[in-house]
Amino acid sequence: MPHRSMTFAKFIIEDQRRRGGADTELTALLNDVQTACKLIAVTVSRGPLHVHQAVTGTNVHDEEQKPLDLTANEIMLDTCSWGGQVRGMASEEMEEPYVVPAPHRRGRHLLLFDPLDGSSNIDVNVTVGTIFSILRAPEGVDEPPGEPTEEDFLRPGTEQVAAGFALYGPTTMIVVTLGAGVHGFTLDREIGNFNLTHPDMRVPEETREFAINMSNSRFWEPPVQRYVEECVQGGSGPRGKDFNMRWIASLVAEVYRILIRGGLFMYPWDTRDTSKPGRLRLLYEANPMAMILEQAGGAASTGRQRILEIAPVALHQRVPLILGSKAEVERVVHYHQTHDRGEDAVFDSPLFNKRSLFRAPAGAVGGV
C-alpha cells in the first residue's frame, strides 16, 4: 500500500528525529535538492518544446555539453545556493568547485552532483536523471566559513551523509539514503509532493540479469570476459541458469532496475585508453550509487577495491564500476583476485576464442 501521507520532507524530518535530533541544515538542503529535481523534471518533460540555448562546447571530460546539461546544472546551482546550507558544490559540468557567492550564507555541507545523467539518450526519449552526494564540509575556524577548496571534496564515499538520484521517466522519482536504508519517492504531479512509494528498498539476491556494453568486449580484462561468457552460456554453462542482458546506457535507470529486480551493472576498466583508470566519475556517480546499493543490501566495487573506500585524488577522478546484487559483485571480484594471483586456466570461449584466462592484456592495470 503506497504511503501517501509520507512526503519526502516529512520523511526527512522523522528520520532526523529517530537519530536523536534534527539536523536542520541537512533537512533544508535535501528539500532544496528535491525542488531542483522538480524543476529539472519539468524542463526534461518538455523535450523539444523547451526553448534550448545553443550548445557551447565540451565539458571538463571533453564530452559534448547538451543544452539540457547546462540548464540542469544551473537549476541545481541556483536552487541550492540561497538557503545557507552549502559551502560549495561540484558538478560534472564544471571544472572547478562552485563557491556559494555573497550575500548567501555558507553552510556546513558540500554538494556534488551529475545534473543530468544519461543525457546522451535525451534525443531518443530514454529515462535520464540527477545523481547527488552530500558531505559535511571540513571543520574550520573561519566565521563566516571561507571558500571551499578542491581538497575539501576529496573524501572517501564512507564519509557521505546522504546520497540519492532522481529519475525523469514515465514517473518522476527520487531514491535516497541517509545512511539507514534506501527509500523511493514518486512525484504526485497534481499536488507537487514526492510521496513515499518504495520504503526500505532491497536488492533481490537472486538474479538472472546483467548489464554491460558488449561492443567493448574485445577490450575487457579476462575476469570480465569470464563472467560475461558464463552468463551467455546460460543453463548449459557453469551458472546453470539463463541470463538476460540489459543495457540502457543511463546509470540512474540501470541502478533503479537493479533495486527493483536485482542484477549486475558493469562499466569495467578496458584497454581502449590505458591512460584512463575507468569511465565513470568517482565522487558524483560511483560514490553515491555505491552508498545506495550497499544500504539496499547490494555491493559496489572496481573489481579490486570497494568503491566507498577509494581515497580520491582529483575532483573528476574516473573509476571502473561494478555494482548490483552482492553475490554477483563478489563473483566478479573473485575472478579479478584469481587473475591477479596469476592462477592459470584455459578459457575456451565462442565469444573470446581460446586463450589463457589469466593472461592480462597489454597495459592492464593492477588496481585503482
**Which residues does the annotation place in the binding site?**
92, 114, 116-120, 213, 285
CA distances from 78 to 101, 141, 151 (A): 11, 27, 23
| Distance between CA atoms of residues 8 and 13, nearest Å | 9
257, 245, 254: which is closest to 210 by C-alpha? 245
Among 132, 173, 157, 144, smallest CA distance to 38 is for 173
Q: Which residues contact 141 (CB under 8 A, 6 or more apart)?
A: none
Helices and strands: H and E segment counts in the chain: 8, 18
Q: Is 121 exposed, middle or buried (0-12, 13-18, 19+ CB in 10 A)?
A: middle
> Residues annotated in the binding site for Mg(2+), as ranges?
92, 114, 116-117, 285
Continuous H helices in 82-183: 150-153
CA nearest to 272, candidates 365, 351, 334, 335: 365
Which of 128, 157, 135 is CA-nearest to residue 300? 157
CA angle, residues 286, 289, 290, in degrees to nearest 5: 80
From the number of C-beta atoms within 10 Å of its C-beta (0-12, 13-18, 19+), residue 101 rates as exposed
Indicate the annotated binding residues for substrate: 117-120, 213
